[in-house]
Amino acid sequence: EPLYIITPTYRRPEQIPELTRMSHTLMLVKNVHWLVIEDAAVATKQVTRLLERTGLNFEHLTAPMPEKYKQKKGAKPRGVSNRNRGLQWIRANATDGVFYFADDDNTYDIALFDEIRKTKRVSMFPVGLCTKFGLSSPIIKNEKFVGFYDGWIAGRKFPVDMAGFAVSVKFLLQRPNASMPFKAGYEEDGFLKSLAPFEPKEIEFLADNCTRVLAWHTQTKKNEPSAPLDMKLYGETNLVKLKQ
Ligand code: UGA
Ligand code: MN
C-alpha cells in the first residue's frame, strides 16, 4: 500500500537544497507518493525540474497562504494551506495506505517510513531536536501510555510535532470534515482533534514504543544576504548568473 508524504514548501534560497536532501531520502523508500505543495501562486520551475530528476512518484501542487494570514503580524500558520491541499488530493485520489506530514527542512531516517506503514488509524513516535526540551514524544511507562513530553504543552490535547504522527488514508476518508486549522502553534492539535472520534488512548505507538528517534526537527540557518539581489543563490538559475 502506498505511503503519501505531504510536504509543504515555499520559495526561498534554501528551498532547493532542502528539497534535494529530502528527495534523496525518499529515493531510498519503496512505494512512496510525494505530494509537494508550494505556498505560491505559481509552481517554481526549479522545483518541478528537481522532482522530475528524482524518478519518484510525485504531485507538484500549489496552495498559497490566504492574504489575510500573510498580512498578520507575529506567528503565521505556515504550511497549513499546503497541507489542506494535500488532504484534498488524498480525498480525491487515494483509497488506502498511510499519509504523513513531512516538512521540507526536517531530517528523516529511512527506517521511519517502514514504521509509518504499520499505521492502522493514527500512530505517533518521537521527534528529536524539537522545542527547548530537545525532544517531543509520547511517554510510555511499563508498556503503558502516560502522557506527552513536549516543551510546549499550551493546553493542547495532542501536544505533538507535525513530524510525530501518521494517519491511515481509510481513517481520514471516514472523517470528511477533518482538516488543519489556520491557527499558529495549534495546527497539529487542531488537525488531530478534527479526527474525532479519536482519543489519546487509541494512539498506536511506533519506533519500539517511542524509544527510537527517527525524525528530527532540524532547521537550516539563514545566511545574511550580502550578495547583490540578482546573485542570490537559487538553484540552477544561480549557475546561469555566475557564468555571465
Ligand atoms: C514549526 C513546528 O515545529 C512544525 O511542527 C510545524 O509544521 C510548523 O511550525 C508550522 O508552523 O506549521 P518550523 O520549523 O518553525 O516548525 O516551521 P517551518 O519549517 O518554517 O515551516 C513548516 C513547513 O511549512 C515547511 O515545510 C515550510 O517549507 C512550509 N512553509 C513555511 C510554507 O509553506 N510557507 C511559509 O511561509 C513558511
Ligand atoms: Mn521546520
| Nearest-atom index, ligand 1, CA of 103 | 26
ipTM of the complex: 0.95
CB atoms closer than 10 angstroms to residue 177: 7
243: Cα within 13 Å, side-chain hemisphere: 5
**pLDDT tens, position by position, for the chain (244 residues)?**
999 999 999 999 999 999 999 999 999 999 999 999 999 999 999 999 999 999 999 999 999 999 999 998 999 999 999 999 999 999 999 999 999 999 999 999 999 999 999 999 999 999 999 999 999 999 999 999 999 999 999 999 999 999 999 999 999 999 999 999 999 999 999 999 999 999 999 999 999 999 999 999 999 998 876 555 554 555 655 555 554 4
Report pTM.
0.93
Nearest Cα residue to 78 out of 163, 9, 167, 156: 9
Let me know the angle formed at the C-alpha of 79 by 75 and 82, rounded to the nearest 5 degrees.
Answer: 150
Active site residues: 188
What is the best residue among 11, 103, 183 to mutate for testing ligand 1's pocket, by most ligand atoms within 8 Å of CB? 103
- pLDDT score of 145: 98
- pLDDT score of 224: 73
- pLDDT score of 114: 98
Residue 114 CB contacts under 8 Å (≥ 6 apart), including other chains: none
What residues does ligand 1 touch, defined as CB less than 6 Å away? 8-10, 39, 78-79, 82, 103-105, 161-162, 187, 217, 219
CA–CA separation, 17 and 1 (whole Å): 29
- pLDDT score of 244: 45
| Nearest-atom index, ligand 1, CA of 8 | 26
| 206 CA distance to ligand 1 middle (Å) | 24
Query: Based on the number of CB atoms within 10 Å of its own CB, is 170 exposed (0-12), middle (13-18) or buried (19 or more)?
Result: middle
Helix (H, G, I), strand (E, B) or coil at 27: coil
CATH number at residue 201: 3.90.550.10
| 144 CA distance to ligand 1 middle (Å) | 31
- Domain tally, the chain: 1
Cβ atoms 172, 89 nearer than 8 A: no
Give me the domain span that covers residue 13. 3-243
Residue nearest to atom 6 of ligand 1 (CA): 162
CB atoms closer than 10 angstroms to residue 13: 15
Residue nearest to atom 4 of ligand 1 (CA): 162
Helix (H, G, I), strand (E, B) or coil at 114: helix
Ligand number nearest to the C-alpha of 77 = 1
Residue 197 preceded by cis peptide, ω within 30: yes
